[in-house]
Amino acid sequence: MELYIERGFEQTTVAEIAARAGLTARTFFRYFADKREVLFGGSASLQELLVAALEGAPDAASPMEAVAAALDEAAAVLGQGREYSRKRQSVIAANAELRERELIKMASLGAALADGLRRRGVADPIASLAAEAGIVVFRVAFGSWVTDPEDQDLSRIMRETLDQLTALRAEVKEP
């Protein structure tokens, strides 16, 4: 991460990353397919965490309550690494290819949440809508958290953002 910040993502080589970590390039490739995976290697774990939390929500939970449970769990874990998250986000923001990869990751998370909701018996389009709304809340809250100069609690920001989305619907006026 430090190399990406110092030199930029494009200018940083796998050999430099491996050397900084005290590894050979061959060892690096045992853990990561390429240098992007340093930034996205935890995506599968995050997806598993979100889906497990969604599936663990009470049976009586509404689709959005189940999604909120998943967001709470993600915030509890991600909220422990604000400085790392800030650095990671700055590297991604500076590179179009990485921004695209981040959007693909978010789409995959949304699809996994929608599948989890369907397994809970939620029909489409509600399953897809709740999952995508959850991902929007995640992105907006996470973006606020990493850019806010004050060290705020990600869980609180996530809940406030979800509350704002809920309130937004009440503010929409029928024609």
pLDDT band at 113 (very low <50, low <70, confident <90, very high): very high
Fold of 1-35: Arc Repressor Mutant, subunit A (1.10.10)
pTM to 2 decimal places: 0.88
> Tokens for 30?
């045992």
SS3 content of the chain, % helix, strand, coil (to 5): 75, 0, 25
Residue 174, C-beta contacts closer than 8 angstroms, at least 6 positions apart = none
What confidence tens digit (pLDDT) does each residue in 3-58 have? 999 999 999 999 999 999 899 989 999 988 899 988 988 899 999 999 999 999 99
- Distant-in-sequence, close-in-space partners of 158: CB < 8 Å, separation ≥ 6: 71, 72, 74, 75, 137, 138, 141, 142
What's the mean pLDDT when you consider all of the chain?
92
What is the mean pLDDT of the segment spanning 63-84?
94
User: Candidates 1.10.357.10, 3.40.50.1820, 3.20.20.70, 1.10.3720.10; correct CATH number of 36-171?
Assistant: 1.10.357.10
Contacts of 85 (CB under 8 A, 6+ apart): 78, 142, 145, 146
Q: Do the Cβ atoms of 79 and 71 come closer than 8 Å?
A: no
Q: By the 8 A CB rule, do 28 and 21 touch? A: yes
Tokens of 150: 């004050």
Residue 148 confidence (pLDDT): 87
Q: Indicate whether 158 pLDDT > 70.
A: yes
pLDDT of residue 96: 93
Average pLDDT over residues 133-150: 93
Q: Give 169's pLDDT tier (boundaries 50, 70, 90).
A: confident
**Residue 172 pLDDT:** 61
**Mean pLDDT along residues 104-115:** 97
Domain edges within the chain: 1-35, 36-171
